[in-house]
Amino acid sequence: MSRAFVFPGQGAQTIGMGRALAEVYPSAKAVFDEVDEALGERLSVLIWEGDIAELTLTQNAQPALMATSIAALRALEAEGITVSSHAGFVAGHSLGEYSALCAAGSLSLSDTARLLRIRGRAMQEAVPVGVGAMAALLGLDFEAAVAVAAEASQGEVCQAANDNDPAQVVVSGHRAAVERAVEIAKAKGAKRALLLPVSAPFHCALMQPAARVMAEALAAVVVEKPVVPVVVNVRAEAVTEPDRIRDLLVAQVTGSVRWRESVLWMEGAGVTEFWEIGAGKALSGMIKRIVSGDVSLRAVGTPEDVQAARG
């Protein structure tokens, strides 16, 4: 199968996402109902009618984006488009990897929602507010960004956290080190280098306390073999073994999101179509900048998108 379903990460959230899907497709509405029940609260009300600042809180954004992605997938399924018959691989960016695993039947929806609530809280609480930071370095490739982070560390943590596309790498770590990285990157010819409005330094060694929390949480849930291989962030290759999936989800908390390499791996495995399932089109933009050949890109986040995909 030459198609991959990919699932977005944090930053794609908007008030109202998924609501039209829930209004048109009962199976999409059932996703939000099940997530509400799993979390013991009406997260759907926050998603559809709440305040964007509250939705953007990591502990809310993570399960909310997953719910929107799975709702879009259920709408596709209602039209006869399934992961097992229409995708060769699934993958997701950071928290999107959980959406991908849920989509492929490796994690149940309720467990995925609870895991992402735990993950969001643990990542937020791992580092006191103000101690860490993240910055986007634009116009530098991954190797250059790694060199910048190493130079900026000076005994503190500064790591390449997200390898998003050939000209966008995010670094993460102690605030002072990340601020140094911004200045070093500018001096080395970065088109732009700027601090990101995030509440914690994700995907770096400072997240080790959160990794311990996730190891315990993941040990308590059932991980099934996915119906199609999952291309995982920290390895940039396909994985199907449940125990390895569990271990790599723990490693993902402190490890780099190797999205550029993951997309290249899928292209090398014969993928020529990428369907972004859920909120926004950020991954589609990255993929367009990553792949060397002609690929087809489709975003599926509204009933109209679902109908077009069926067509």
Contact 296, 4 (CB under 8 A): no
- pLDDT at position 304 is 97
Which band of pLDDT confidence, cut at 50, 70 and 90, is reported for residue 105? Answer: very high
Each residue of 198-234: b (16+ CB within 10 Å) or e? Answer: bbbbbbbebbeebbebbeebbeeeebeebbbbbbbbb
- pLDDT at position 28 is 98
pLDDT in tens, 190-226: 999 999 988 899 999 999 999 999 999 999 999 999 9
Averaged pLDDT of the chain: 96
Active site residues: 94, 203
Over range 45-67, report the average pLDDT: 95
Which band of pLDDT confidence, cut at 50, 70 and 90, is reported for residue 284? Answer: very high
Give the separation between CA 204 and CA 211, rounded to whole angstroms.
10
- pLDDT at position 199 is 82
pLDDT in tens, 236-269: 999 999 999 999 999 999 999 999 999 999 999 9
Does the pLDDT at position 270 exceed 90? yes
Torsion of CA 33, 101, 297, 35, to 10 degrees: 10
User: CA–CA distance from 292 to each of 7, 134, 137, 223 (Å)?
Assistant: 21, 29, 22, 35
- pLDDT at position 71 is 98
- pLDDT at position 134 is 96
Does the pLDDT at position 231 exceed 80? yes
The pTM (predicted TM-score) of the whole model is 0.96
Give the separation between CA 159 and CA 148, rounded to whole angstroms.
9
- pLDDT at position 1 is 62
- pLDDT at position 292 is 86
- pLDDT at position 181 is 98
Q: Which helix (H) or strand (E) holds 159?
A: strand 158-165
Does the pLDDT at position 305 exceed 70? yes
- pLDDT at position 250 is 98
